[in-house]
Structure 1
Amino acid sequence: MNRPIRNIAIIAHVDHGKTTLVDCLLKQSGTFAAHERLGERIMDSNDIERERGITILAKNCAIEYGGTRINIVDTPGHADFGGEVERVLSMVDGVLLLVDAVEGPMPQTRFVTRKALAQGLKAIVVVNKIDRPGSRPGWVVDQTFDLFDRLGASDAQLDFPVIYASALQGWASTDYTERRPDMAALFEAILAHVPPPAALPGLPLQLQISTLDYNSYLGRIGIGRIRRGVLHPGESVALRFGSEDRGTARIGQVLTFSGLERVPVEEASAGDIVAVTD
């Protein structure tokens, strides 16, 4: 079943509130029932991540807003894991660039922003922690614009929308002087400024695997974006690495994301981000 989709990555320097923001979006989109308790940093499922308080491996989730499925990839915010960021950017059509309202763009923000701009991605700039003492949103936006300019952004990329937010308090606004009751301003910005993925369901299947995972029950899991065609469980596919033929394989399960869960489906179409088993 085809439905509107947006694919985005959230990029930020470590400790600028990225995972808190994702947690907030999941809660406000109704992904979790009101009676459910959310642990802090729910996307940081790796033991090392919990111990160090940083996100290392990309996590995928999906939320529903206004009839649109928004696939969100939470990317590493630490310089040691920049390679993971590059792979993730190939799955998305836009990025949320999260910057601290006091500190502004930081070194890792520069690295990831360069990669995103080079791929032609446009950013929604989210100035987070707007409620912090010493917040200077005007300076932060100017610094971000200057950074984009130095990195060779196009005119279209320089014309980025700005959302001011407090992920911890659960609100976002287009005006930093006006506190809103929820994150609706950010949801609406995603729908308005992140383009829908190119839909090419009538062409032969092409699925680009960007990340790998392992589950003790399902075994190996490949996660990636369907570039064209339609994918079904049980069908045979050809494997290629660049121009090299790697033989064939049979698809086991096809899973899409719902919240933080992976849900088996009978069909997935071009543009969607899926997980597959062998």
Structure 2
Amino acid sequence: TRGTALLHQHHMGWMPWAGDMPDSRGGAMVSDRMGTTTGYALDKLQLSGGFFVHPGETVYEGMVVGECAREDEMVINAVRAKEKNNIRTHSHDDAVKLPAPKIHTLETAIEWIAGDELVEVTPKNIRIRKRHLGLEERRKSNKKTS
């Protein structure tokens, strides 16, 4: 909804326990390279899910930069820059409007991670990353566990 919906709840009453709550977590959007995120790249990817990073933030390979709607992980290029050319058009140079990223606290980051992810805590940032940073390392690890 990108902030345009209203939510309304109504308590229907108490019921007997019906089992565990389903996990509503989507898959991780994982950066495939090191660099600085760009608004252009995040704009192209915003339909895939929500982000945990701002444009201009430094990311590295294996860092979780967002949550996608699919259940499996999605490897993305969040540092892609716009191609430069000599043709100037007003329709292509519009300002990028991105929704505010979800900033994790330590508690929400620990709650969000899966078994193959870690929470990285520094004095300035709380980040989520994959246990194995490289894509090939993650594939080998997944083959060993399955």
TM-score by length of 2: 0.32
The structure carrying a bigger strand percent of its residues is 1
TM-score by length of 1: 0.20
Higher RCO (C-alpha under 8 Å, 6+ residues apart): 2
The structure carrying a bigger helix percent of its residues is 1
